[in-house]
Each structure stands twice: as C-alpha cells, then as structure tokens.
Amino acid sequence: MIEHSGIRKRNLNTKQGKPLLIWGASGHALVVADIIRLSSGYALVGFIDDAPDPAPEYCGLPVFPNLSLAVELTGAADVILGFGNCMARLELEKQIRTLGLSLATAIHPSAVIASDAVIGAGSVIAALAVINPRVHLGTNVIVNTAASVDHESIVEDAANVCPGVRLGGRVHIGRAAFIGIGSSVRDRVHIGDGAVIGAGSVVVSDIPAGVLAYGNPARVKSKAPSA
C-alpha cells in the first residue's frame, strides 16, 4: 500500500518486476507507460508531476509531486522521463543521478534495432521505430513512433526525434536538439545542440546550435524557443 496526500492507495502493478517511476503525467508519459507494459523487467508504480496542483492519479496509479517523495513511498530505484522538453530532460537527469537512482530504458517490441546499435540509458524507442547499424544514441534520447535513424548516425543526449522523422546515414544530432514531426534530414548533415527543426522540414545542410529552422529546404528563422 502507498500513502500519499492522506489517501492510502493500492499498488496497481499489473506484473512483477523492478518498481519504476515515470517522471511526467501527460501524453508522452502515456506512450512510455504503454511501452513499459509491453516490455519485461519493470513494474510501473507511479508518476511524478511537479506542476502546480497535479492530479492525484494517472493511468490508475498515484501521481507524486516530487522525486524524493515518490522514491520514499514506492521504494523505486529506477526512473524514466515521460515528457519531451529536451532541456528539462538534460537537467532532470542530474537530479536522478544525484539521488543514486538509475535511468530505465524503454524499447517497444515492434521497434527494429541493429545488433551493434548503442542505446543510451533513459532512452525511449517507440513503436515501429528503426535504429540501423552503428547508430549511437546518447542518454535520454527519444526516437518516437515510426521514426528512423540510419546507419552510423549519432543522436546526442536528450535529443527528441519526433514521430515519422527520417534521418539519413551519418547524421549528427546535437544535445537537446528537437527534430519536428515528419521531418527529413539528408545524410551527413549536422544539427547543433539545442536546435529546433520545425514539423515537416527537409534539412539538406548543417543547422547551427540554438536556432529555430524550418521549411523545404530548412532555413534558420530565429533563435530557438526556450521551452
């Protein structure tokens, strides 16, 4: 039983495994929870939402206002991030590691992953994603639904590759970069740290760090939004 906000809640695990917390309680967390449900090794015990006035439950499990309380009440030693904000993903990884916790990795069973691909801790690989040979994903990377990362590409820590994105061979995606839904990136292109690529863009040349770029071909439009 878990006591939180004066209410004793039953632990609603549906399977056996290591207790796991998802940090986030909205749309992407729902996707991550479903991947965990379909995978082996973890039992989801709750969510964390540090926004003002979070809902008491999400997906039938308790929502905790901070990481420390969630760990205290559930005994979980593993956490996975269930939101898409790239910069926040970088920052919260530090909190998780400071508490001596481990980052869980979620890989949908329908994803296709080459045997020599490297998948960093905390990464989320969604349904129908393809990770081809000699790809290297850093920590806390998202490769979302039906996205593909081709041979020898590097996707650095906390980058978010949105649904339907196509990355060519030997592409380099910088830390905390965001590649919008349905975009295509030509082979050998480098996208800098913190860059944001708008939805449906076609990227045929390098994009510097910290900018917003979009279009066909993608061109720099402004400084990247902070969120």
Give tens-digit pLDDT for 128-156.
Answer: 999 999 999 999 999 999 999 999 999 99
Say which residue, 198 or 6, is predicted with more confidence: 198
Encode pLDDT of 5-49 as tens digits: 433 333 434 457 899 999 999 899 999 999 999 987 899 999 999
How many Å apart are CA 74 and CA 46, to the nearest integer?
8
Catalytic residues: 151
pLDDT of residue 226: 66
Domains of the chain with CATH codes? 2-103 (3.40.50.720), 106-212 (2.160.10.10)
- Which uninterrupted H or E stretch holds 119? strand 118-119
Q: What is the pTM of this model?
A: 0.90
3-state secondary structure of 196: strand
